[in-house]
Structure 1
């Protein structure tokens, strides 16, 4: 995989000025990720930051009683290592690959040094962290106020934003972790969406067949974080042109 800026698919790396990209390029390494691979562990030093080219990962929060739920989702629109960007070496959460793929890895120390040497690199990475926080807030609102089938519709839309095509391998067990519910609840929610002709679920795969219908089904829980991301990224590109 080429690390030429015109060839990369990660939107953050593409948004960097050519000069900023060249600051990071010498330390870039292309890496492959498998499903359920753990990228970050709680209370463990974050050695590298990942910019996904394909595939995506969930940021999973845990309670002391062992229960867990997804608190964030990142793919080629962003990066892992949010704690590093905010000046910390460790995170309280686990980052787990949902969809296998490739990414560009950078040592955490390289990212920190680059942010110190370039205000524009720092601003772009911090802008992404802001959008991730908006996404997390939207997840909290959806989890607290929306029915499970609507939460699932929102999550599938977020997934669709970050993958190629409309079909993804996804087990009921992993969806239960992501949504913080028991597996039977996931089964019921999938049947509801499938019964409305929005998705097709079979043998560990989910295919989105009516995206517009999913957006309606999500009932307003989807869109705020995505709009904020696109607005801020457009502002970054506008500043570079001017």
Structure 2
């Protein structure tokens, strides 16, 4: 089991450029007064592939701000099946139920692309949300953008082909990473999209045959992003437009 590095002093004084808290765009948007209050409490943590950050129905103790990792929000059925409802990366935060007042959600938060991030205790987040108008407005705009992604994912999964869904998923993931490669097991991708592994293989091979990606042993390299954007459905553009509209400061970073 991977041990989390959770020393606030480490997060504050030993963060490299790769692990700078302000690589998370929400943290980078904090006004200076709020930033100075938050920094001593931000804990740098390792986010390995498959790590569960929040469990379905369990009280959340922290919010997480990924810097170079991607986290999937999965809805879990009683029979153990799951489907992804949203992805969160360096543009956002995992754990909106804490400051929205719910405390827990029926979804599970799982790291889908390994990396690093920062976490903040639930009580500190709630105090800042109630204390600071800029924090409240920033988090509420992000929450609206996240709800748009969840809604569009539901529509996409119902009405669009699997290879279109895979294109959308790849593009949303790339928007939340610096680079063109994803390390993903076939099983994890199938869990994210809520389909059989054979279906993921077939869809990925179609994209590979079209020269859009290279897919082998859990490694996906995007070779032609404009081609992916042309092949995907309108769902990707709807989600991106809403993030850009609600969080313009993030786009400029």
Scaled to the shorter chain, the TM-score interval is over 0.9
Point out where structure 2 has 5 or more consecutive residues left out of the alignment.
Answer: 1-9
Deviations 1:168-221 (A, max 9, x none): 111111110000000111111001111111001012200000101101110212
Deviations 1:62-114 (A, max 9, x none): 12222110011000000000111211211211100011111111001100000
In structure 2, which of residues 68, 85, 103 is the aligned counterpart of residue 89 of structure 1? 103
Q: How far does residue 236 in structure 1 lie from its aligned partner after superposition? A: 8.6
Aligned partner of 1:35 in structure 2 is 49
Aligned partner of 2:31 in structure 1 is 17
- 30-39 or 157-166: which moved more? 157-166
CA distance in 2, matches of 1:118, 1:236: 19
CA distance in 2, matches of 1:237, 1:166: 19
CA distance in 2, matches of 1:192, 1:103: 34
In structure 2, which of residues 124, 127, 137 is the aligned counterpart of residue 110 of structure 1? 124
In structure 1, which of residues 54, 57, 61 is the aligned counterpart of residue 71 of structure 2? 57
Let me know the Cα RMSD of the aligned residues.
1.9
CA distance in 2, matches of 1:14, 1:135: 22
| Number of corresponding residues | 238
Point out where structure 1 has 5 or more consecutive residues left out of the alignment.
Answer: none
In structure 1, which of residues 194, 210, 222 is the aligned counterpart of residue 208 of structure 2? 194
Q: Which runs of 4+ in 1 moved over 6 A?
A: 235-238
Q: 8 Å contact 2:65–2:93 — kept in the other structure?
A: yes
Q: How far does residue 164 in structure 1 lie from its aligned partner after superposition? A: 2.0
Q: How far does residue 16 in structure 1 lie from its aligned partner after superposition? A: 1.1
Equivalence map 1:60-71=2 (5 Å): 60-71=74-85
Q: SS where residue 247 of structure 2 aligns?
A: helix
In structure 2, which of residues 169, 188, 193 is the aligned counterpart of residue 179 of structure 1? 193
TM-score by length of 2: 0.89
